[in-house]
Chains A and B, each alone.
Chain A
Amino acid sequence: MHNRIAVFRAEHGLSRRQLAEAVDVNPQTIGYLERGDYKPSLELALKVAGVFNVPVELIFSLTPFEAIASSLRRIGVEQ
């Protein structure tokens, strides 16, 4: 499972500890999630999505997310 927790966390200016406290886990667990070492339960995935106020599929995906550089390049070409 792939995720963009680190991207969303950086965008919202949240530290691992702050996100961990918001979803009631240890900060290391957020680290393992970000690394992809651990697949979260549905409950935890929904909680993480809830913190960022976005649908869960924007953060977690079974297929790799497009790289941010590629997304920006594509948007630039479309505009």
Chain B
Amino acid sequence: MSNRQHRFLTWLDRSVMWTGVPAMAAGTQRKRHLRWPPLLALLVASAGLLWCVLHPGRSYWIGYSLIMVGFFVAILMPNWGPLRRFSERADEFERQQRRDSFLVGFATVAVAAFAGIWLTVGLLAMQVWSTLVAQQELTALAFYMMALFGAVPTLHASWRTRPFNDEE
């Protein structure tokens, strides 16, 4: 193998390692504080939900698209966030952190579900929304809640503790 080929293969190896996929497959990926991506995901998804509520007509898809963007970013958060998965080995600090953060996550989802369902029922009862619109809004709410479930625990865990810098 020539030197050039060797360098190219090394570069390919490094590129693959950089993606984090091999470490993820081996279960050794680096856990890090993610303070801004989950916040961004929640902001985008919340803006989308607000849009869906305010514009339930033909431009509904704009809000729905925003929710889906937030949802897609949010479901990636557990992969790189500070929380260990339930299947991973965790010490007592990590178990407590996971418990606290998921508790906050579940509470947030519960509040969103409660508010969203009652809002839908109320607007249906007042005949502000049709059955079709209510169905669309509930679909949007379901994806919004999944975005909350993906992002809030990571957000909570990332802001609860300060990350270590290299000197520490």
- A: residues with CB less than 8 A from B are 24-26, 28-29, 31-33, 35, 37-38, 40-41, 43-44
Contact = CB atoms under 8 A, between A and B. Distances in A.
Contact of A29 (B94, B162, B168): B94
Nearest to B163: A28
B91 A31 contact: no
**B92, B93, B96, most chain A CB atoms within 10 A:** B93
Contacts of B94: 26, 29
A37 B162 contact: yes
A25 B92 contact: yes
B93 A38 contact: yes
B161 interface: yes
B81 to A, nearest CB: 14
Interface in B129-168: 161-162, 164, 168
Which interface class (under 10, 10 to 19, 20 to 34, 35 or more) fits B?
under 10
B141 to A, nearest CB: 36
24 contacts: A24-B91, A25-B91, A25-B92, A25-B93, A26-B91, A26-B94, A28-B93, A28-B164, A29-B91, A29-B92, A29-B93, A29-B94, A31-B164, A31-B168, A32-B93, A33-B93, A35-B162, A37-B161, A37-B162, A38-B93, A38-B96, A41-B92, A43-B92, A44-B92
Contacts of B168: 31
B168 to A, nearest CB: 6
A26 B93 CA distance: 9
Given A26-B91, A28-B164, 20 more contacts: A25-B91, A25-B93, A26-B93, A28-B93, A29-B91, A29-B92, A29-B93, A29-B94, A31-B168, A32-B93, A32-B161, A33-B93, A35-B162, A37-B162, A38-B93, A38-B96, A40-B92, A41-B92, A43-B92, A44-B92
A5 to B, nearest CB: 13
